[in-house]
Structure 1
Amino acid sequence: MQQIPNLENDDFIEKYQVKGQLGRGSYGAVYQVIDPNGQIYALKCIYKSRFKEVNGQVGNLIQNEVDALQKLESQYIVKLISTFYSDYQGESLFCILLEFCEGGNLLEYLIQQQDTFNQQNAIIFFKQILQGMKEIHQKRIIHRDLKLANILIHKDQIKIADFGFCHILNSDTSQINLNLGTLGNQAPEVLDDQPYGLKSDMFSIGVILYQLLFLAYPFSIKNQETFLDEVSNSNPPSFKKNGRKVEQYLEDLLTKMLRKDPANRLDWTDLFKSKLFQNSYSCILKMIQRNFWFINNR
């Protein structure tokens, strides 16, 4: 048996017809499927037999993903439609049916739009990511694999996806120990095998903002040692990559989000008090004032 399901185009999984593969991960693959009514979905498939691997850790991760998606309702998070088991070539598949996002992922989008993607575009996407992540953290969920490739685009709106590494904190726990994620996006405390909590995601969010603004990683991803050295000794990172410059308040925001020590890293309260959101309020206020002026002077 193959480790990851390899479905063929036009295969059927229950009533869903496979139209192509969207991606592959450590334990499963995601396919574009269509139902008898012509509705398109994304279908994540994992062999049930793999649930027992790593002392049952694989099964726990898959259950965490489903539990997390069932808790989340934000328009900026990919929606869970249903889960079910299905037989495929004599093997039992566990299937997660998800909302389909036709725009691909944010990494692909940035590569395609790099010549025209600017600070204003970055801020629009980033604020949507923050709205989704705010609900995730309010539900005490650590995503643990936040990166551009796991943020999808649907009708010009972002959708945070791939909760395969997430962890739901219980009422008695604020930190965990398990090195999961992607080098370059992981917080240093995760790589150092130190206890970590929700603030680890804040580091990853900072990496994403940096990538949106500069189209590059803030620190070297050559290897783990080089990455940790730069986080420790070259922090804050350069704010002049790829010939791009940003406003000072964004540099200040990145500096606080990418701090090595999670205790000193920016939290949600300070983030929403930052100039990033003050600017939004100011723009809305000016728009309201202009509308009142227009009404009163007609």
Structure 2
Amino acid sequence: MPVPHRDLGPILQKHGFGEIKKIGEGSFGKALLVQAEDGTKLVCKAVDVSAASSKETQDALKESRLLAALKHPYIVRYRHNLHEHGWLCIFMDYCEGGDLSKVIESAKRRGQRLPEEQVLRWITQALLALKYIHERHVLHRDLKSGNFFICRSGNLKMGDFGIAKVLSNTLACARTQIGTPYYLSPEVCQEKPYAWPSDIWAMGCILYELCALKVPFDAPNISTLVQRICRGPTPSLPTAYSDFLRQLCTEMLHRTAC
């Protein structure tokens, strides 16, 4: 039997981690800010794998070890993991500046667009991180503004790879799919396999969101949203941004390239 969510504390303490606060919770489990014995702050993602088969759990552990081997200045560093009592706990660096979706929300509330210089800096860092993982034959599979994080230096870092999606046949995984698929590419909406261009499309959605402060495709329900992603007009960036940036976004959201 898995240890209930509230009993994660003893597992963490056993391995030398103290819980500081909960920073997220969902059907997958919890995201906790923890502190190691040397004072280092880390984020612990605790994924419920109690319903997974032994092979599925081993696949998830293998993928988390692969992520720990990724070392790039614009990727959140995965430090280590542990598997105990039906939980897969993945530890990664903590980014003090929060995630990019919060930055976008704040700019929207203020009614102030993000400066092009800042957008270019962040999208360049994001694309360099994407190039690095693609060169290592790794798909992110869950790119969205909420999965990029701001570190103390102001740099952007890619994080929250779709680890739990390895558990493709488990209830734990199925529950993580709930939500509006704003960043899904046309081919994924058409039930084709997720591939390299799907990550590029999602990055185009993020670039649009950085500039327009809203997602490029929206609808009152998922079926209409899928139709708009697959066949609707592709929106252009606001004219306040350069032709270069506007053309870049258009090319990233080019359907026939997917």
TM range, normalised to the smaller chain?
0.7 to 0.9
Judged with a 3 Å threshold, the aligned counterparts in structure 2 of structure 1 residues 120 and 154 are, in CA distance, closer, same or farther, namely same
1:16 aligned to 2:10? no
Deviation readout 1:208-227 (Å, 9 max, x if unpaired)? 00001110111114333322
Aligned to 2:190: 192
**Percent identity for Structure 1 against Structure 2:** 26
Deviation readout 1:16-36 (Å, 9 max, x if unpaired)? 010111223442321001122
1:141 aligned to 2:141? no
What TM-score, normalized by structure 1, do the two folds share? Answer: 0.71
**Partners of 2:68 and 2:79 within 8 A in 1:** no
- Give the alignment partner of residue 108 of structure 1, picking from 86, 90, 102: 102
Instruction: Output the CA distance in 2 between the equivalents of 1:60 and 1:157.
Output: 33
1:69 aligned to 2:67? yes
**Partners of 1:144 and 1:165 within 8 A in 2:** no
**Partners of 1:4 and 1:28 within 8 A in 2:** no
Aligned to 1:153: 150
Alpha-carbon shift at residue 254 of structure 1 (Å) = 1.5
**Partners of 1:81 and 1:97 within 8 A in 2:** yes
Aligned to 1:46: 47
Aligned to 2:31: 30
Judged with a 3 Å threshold, the aligned counterparts in structure 2 of structure 1 residues 22 and 110 are, in CA distance, closer, same or farther, namely same
Alpha-carbon shift at residue 51 of structure 1 (Å) = 2.5
Judged with a 3 Å threshold, the aligned counterparts in structure 2 of structure 1 residues 48 and 216 are, in CA distance, closer, same or farther, namely closer
Aligned to 1:94: 88
- Match for 1:100: what amino acid? Y
How large is the Cα RMSD of the aligned pairs? 3.0
Unaligned runs of 5+ in 2: 167-176
Aligned to 1:260: 255
Aligned to 2:118: 121
Secondary structure at 2:68's aligned position in 1?
helix
Alpha-carbon shift at residue 12 of structure 1 (Å) = 2.9
What TM-score, normalized by structure 2, do the two folds share? Answer: 0.81
Secondary structure at 1:78's aligned position in 2?
coil
- Match for 2:140: what amino acid? H
Unaligned runs of 5+ in 1: 169-179, 266-298
My pick for the range that moved more, 154-163 or 222-231, is 222-231
Alpha-carbon shift at residue 7 of structure 1 (Å) = 5.5
**Partners of 1:105 and 1:153 within 8 A in 2:** yes
Judged with a 3 Å threshold, the aligned counterparts in structure 2 of structure 1 residues 144 and 123 are, in CA distance, closer, same or farther, namely same
Instruction: Output the CA distance in 2 between the equivalents of 1:165 and 1:231.
Output: 25
1:250-289 residue pairs with structure 2 within 5 A?
Answer: 250-261=245-256, 264-265=257-258
Larger relative contact order (Cα-Cα within 8 Å, sequence gap ≥ 6) = 2
Aligned to 1:248: 243
Judged with a 3 Å threshold, the aligned counterparts in structure 2 of structure 1 residues 201 and 65 are, in CA distance, closer, same or farther, namely same
- Give the alignment partner of residue 237 of structure 1, picking from 231, 235, 245: 235
Judged with a 3 Å threshold, the aligned counterparts in structure 2 of structure 1 residues 234 and 46 are, in CA distance, closer, same or farther, namely closer
1:222 aligned to 2:220? yes
Alpha-carbon shift at residue 111 of structure 1 (Å) = 1.9
